[in-house]
A and B are shown apart, each in its own frame.
Chain A
Amino acid sequence: MASSAFERGRRRSPATSIAIYLGVLVFAVWILLPVWYLVVSSLITPSQLGIKPFPLVPSSITFDNYFAVLFGNTGGKGIGSTDMGTRLVPAIGQSLLVSSVLVVLNLFIAGAAAYGLSRYPFRGARAFELSVIATRIVPAIAIIGPFFVAFRVIGVLNTPWALVISYNVFTLPLAIMILKNYFDQLPREIEEAAKIDGATRLQTLWIIIVPIARPGLVAAGVLIFLEAWSEFFYALVLTNQLTVPPLLAGFQSVQQFNWNALAAATVMSMLPPTVLVLIFQRHVVGALTAGVGK
């Protein structure tokens, strides 16, 4: 095996190698250039930002923008007239709260449903599963009207609950699909062995299946977190800039605001999902591709 891999590696012509490394260079520029622009913008002063062409390699950097958006005004050091410094941290807190509550709730509810669909199919189970998949096509924008009206009546507009409730529209079907595919891959002998040992169905699920299914549950949890953290439209309509995305969008429309500070806030908003996905990369990609092509 080792020698054949060695031969394969050698068979590549120099021209092919050059083409591949050129391709990698183009790929790296395509991904990194916008990100690099954002990070540099967050690390320079407004006067550096005004230089033409934009200093892709700045002569000096500063962390003032980050201090400003995290801790409020830093002695008038160019934050403009925005109050981002007092609002970003609470918004990050609300985003974390909404996302975490949803992850926990959905893992229980979707986990139970996915396991039931996978192991104990009942009449209509397949139809339910297909309609869960079909909900991905329903435009979330299309059905926000009833939520807005109902939430105004029961008085949860502008609270985290408005989002915890409404986000189920996209997170719950996603979690059910991911977990159903995952449970389908686990061998059925597990249940049979547990049954012989005298365990009840619920005991089997809780004591045996849940620990085995941890990678799938982690992947589903990360994906739920990602969707909830990223959601913008419902947060825009149902709350007054409660979470991070509508807050960032709000700053864009503030007059006299400053791209350096917004860039720092934007970097902050990208960190949690990116770090989470990079840590659980294997699990997440595995879960996403498990049901593909079925």
Chain B
Amino acid sequence: MAGATDLLGPKADRAFGLKLVAPAMIILIVLLALPTLLTVVYSLHDVPASGSSFGPFVGIENFTIIFSSPVFWRSAQVTLTFAIGFVVLSTVIGLAMAMLLNQRFIGRGLARALLIIPWATPWLVIGILWKWFADGSVGGLNAVLMMLGLTSDYHPFLSDPNTALPITVLAAVWRQASFAGILLLAGLQTLPEELNEAAQLDGANWWQRFSNITLPWLRPVLITVTVFNVIYAFLQFDVVFAMTQGGPGDTTQVLSVLIYRQLFVNTNIGLGSALAVILGVVALIGGLTIVRLFYRREMH
């Protein structure tokens, strides 16, 4: 009897597991897999603006149009610049904040609570907040620079083609560095203090302890954080849309904004979908590259 139920058990267990997962699976297939597939199909058609049918099949024509368009390459360049600045700054500032908040000082609990505020703030609100913070007539950033004597008059950061992109990067970093800081701080808190103390007794200086103990300890968290940063970098829409809508000119027109324009301003569903496919592939490659890069270094 006991033997029979043992044999039946796992099979009934598996069926029970499948039953529990089935609703989520069905929802994700209908709401995620299907639209993803449809987007790929759209990208191969000249879809009418109404979107009521696929329209004529055009093969890779949408992609040919995109790859021969200077607008796309300009946008790709902006996206890449945005992504590099965003990933590097978010990770570095996040790590610096985590290491600082891992020290002992008065008011540490309050400081750790502060770290959470940018992360809890909606991306769009960060865009609105920074748009006005950097404003050329009522902005707080200008006020601070003026009070510090760094500038003599207000500067319209977001309508200046030279500063628009850096300021949007900074705004997005303000939020993402906090997310990185939260995860990295949690990682640092699990680092046994004895490791650092032993190294200190052996005469290791701050930099040696940082590069030989702290960084290797944080590697798994750093991989996760960096992959998140890369994905958010390529998929960022809200902050740019709220701050500049892609302007001035095309200086901040990242690919997600270009997709929005194609789909909903020019109502070119085929071309917009092809752009979306390209963006998805780029984000995927970006994420995988980071994972590869880190793991390869680990092997050495």
Whether B23 pairs with A112 at a CB distance below 8 angstroms is yes
Whether A37 pairs with B105 at a CB distance below 8 angstroms is no
Complex CA gap A12/B200 in Å reads 12
Chain A residue at minimum C-beta to C-beta distance from B276: A142
Q: Does B195 contact A (CB under 8 A)?
A: no
User: Given A121-B17, A139-B235, A141-B237 in contact, is the A35-B117 Cβ separation under 8 Å?
Assistant: yes
Q: Does A187 contact B (CB under 8 A)?
A: no
Contact of A120 (CB < 8 Å), options: B17, B111, B154, B186? B17
Q: Does A28 contact B (CB under 8 A)?
A: yes
Q: Does A262 contact B (CB under 8 A)?
A: yes
Whether A273 pairs with B32 at a CB distance below 8 angstroms is no
Contacts of B241 in A (CB 8 A): 232, 249
Whether B117 pairs with A31 at a CB distance below 8 angstroms is yes
Q: Smallest CB–CB gap between B204 and chain A, Å?
A: 15
Contact flags B1-40 to A (C-beta < 8 A → 1, else 0):
0000000000001111111110111011001101110110
Contact flags B167-207 to A (C-beta < 8 A → 1, else 0):
00000001000100011001100000100000000000000
Contacts of A139 in B (CB 8 A): 234-235, 256, 276, 279-280, 283
Interface positions, chain B 91-110, Cβ under 8 Å from A, are 97, 100-101, 103-105, 107
Contacts of A266 in B (CB 8 A): 125, 128-129
Contact flags B122-147 to A (C-beta < 8 A → 1, else 0):
11110011111101011110111011
Contacts of B120 in A (CB 8 A): 226, 270, 273-274, 276-278
Whether B138 pairs with A50 at a CB distance below 8 angstroms is yes
The stretch among B63-71, B155-163, B257-265 that forms the contact with chain A is: B257-265
Whether A145 pairs with B125 at a CB distance below 8 angstroms is no
User: Given A56-B140, A144-B263 in contact, is the A288-B124 Cβ separation under 8 Å?
Assistant: no
Complex CA gap A285/B184 in Å reads 11
Whether B256 pairs with A109 at a CB distance below 8 angstroms is no
Contacts of A56 in B (CB 8 A): 140, 143-144, 147
Whether B242 pairs with A249 at a CB distance below 8 angstroms is yes
Whether B24 pairs with A112 at a CB distance below 8 angstroms is yes
Q: Smallest CB–CB gap between B219 and chain A, Å?
A: 8
Complex CA gap A263/B133 in Å reads 11
The stretch among B80-88, B208-216, B220-228 that forms the contact with chain A is: B220-228
Q: Does B284 contact A (CB under 8 A)?
A: yes
Interface positions, chain A 167-191, Cβ under 8 Å from B, are 168-169, 172-173, 176
Whether B28 pairs with A132 at a CB distance below 8 angstroms is yes
Contacts of B137 in A (CB 8 A): 50
Complex CA gap A205/B273 in Å reads 42
The stretch among A16-24, A61-69, A84-92 that forms the contact with chain B is: A16-24
Chain A residue at minimum C-beta to C-beta distance from B286: A137
Whether B105 pairs with A141 at a CB distance below 8 angstroms is no
Contact of B31 (CB < 8 Å), options: A36, A168, A259, A263? A168
Q: Does A146 contact B (CB under 8 A)?
A: yes
Whether B107 pairs with A24 at a CB distance below 8 angstroms is yes
Contacts of B279 in A (CB 8 A): 139, 141-142
Contact of B133 (CB < 8 Å), options: A34, A168, A173, A274? A34
Q: Smallest CB–CB gap between B267 and chain A, Å?
A: 10
Contacts of A110 in B (CB 8 A): 24
Complex CA gap A161/B272 in Å reads 25
Could you tell me which B residues sit within 8 Å of A by CB distance? 13-21, 23-25, 27-28, 31-32, 34-36, 38-39, 42, 51-52, 97, 100-101, 103-105, 107, 111, 113-125, 128-133, 135, 137-140, 142-144, 146-147, 154, 174, 178, 182-183, 186-187, 193, 220-221, 223-224, 231, 234-235, 237-238, 241-242, 256, 259-260, 263-264, 269, 272-273, 276-277, 279-280, 283-284, 287
List, sorted by A's number, 27 A–B pairs whose CB atoms are closer than 8 Å: A8-B193, A24-B107, A24-B111, A37-B129, A37-B140, A50-B137, A50-B138, A54-B142, A120-B17, A122-B15, A138-B280, A141-B256, A141-B260, A144-B263, A145-B269, A146-B39, A149-B52, A169-B35, A172-B24, A176-B24, A226-B120, A232-B237, A233-B238, A262-B128, A274-B116, A278-B113, A292-B224
New A-B pairs, 13, CB < 8 Å, besides A27-B101, A120-B13, A292-B224: A24-B100, A31-B114, A37-B129, A53-B146, A137-B287, A142-B280, A144-B35, A146-B39, A230-B122, A237-B264, A245-B238, A249-B241, A278-B120
